[in-house]
Amino acid sequence: MTSVNPVDVLNRLIVLHNRSLAMYLRYASPTWLRGDEQARQVLQQIGEDHQQTVDRLGEMVVDLDGAVNFGGFSMTFTSYHDLSFAFLLQRLIEGQRKIISTAEECARQLEAFPMARALAEESLGAAKAHLDLLEELGSSKPKVVTGA
């Protein structure tokens, strides 16, 4: 059985949150359309929550005498410049699902480290709430009809 290094697992969560599409869009804002105010607020809130999670995870890594790894953004994100939020919404939802899946795995890996596990589970709960917000936005967007 392999031993789990909590610093490695926490850093995995840091990269996941710090380099999410929501965080990327804080630097490369999508094209906003009239009526996107709620979507803009949701995206801003998710970005702020991700930053707070990164800060808390980073503090725990430092407390464990580890080095924080902030990671890098996916190169795929560079192809998302100047796209509408409506177009990016599905990618944000997919990203949140990945965060949820990875946070669940990390929480399991941190079973022997109660404080780190609690933080992983907290990030998992926030990720699920973010997914709900994004899916709600998706269900409230008018559907585009093509063809005759």
Q: What is the CATH number of the domain that holds 53?
A: 1.20.1260.10
Burial class (CB in 10 A: 0-12, 13-18, 19+), 11: buried
66/146: higher pLDDT: 66
pLDDT digits (tens, 9 = 90+) for 33-76: 888 889 999 999 999 999 999 999 999 999 999 999 999 999 99
Within a domain: 1: no
Within a domain: 148: no
Task: Give the total number of structural domains in the chain.
Answer: 1
Distance from C-alpha of 128 to C-alpha of 37, rounded to nearest angstrom: 22
Q: What's the pLDDT band for 141 if we cut at 50, 70, 90? A: low
Within a domain: 10: yes
Q: What's the pLDDT band for 17 if we cut at 50, 70, 90? A: very high
Name the residue range of residue 17's domain. Answer: 6-140
142/73: higher pLDDT: 73
Within a domain: 147: no
Q: What's the pLDDT band for 148 if we cut at 50, 70, 90? A: very low
Within a domain: 126: yes
Distance from C-alpha of 144 to C-alpha of 65, rounded to nearest angstrom: 52
Within a domain: 123: yes
pLDDT digits (tens, 9 = 90+) for 74-98: 999 998 888 888 889 999 999 999 9
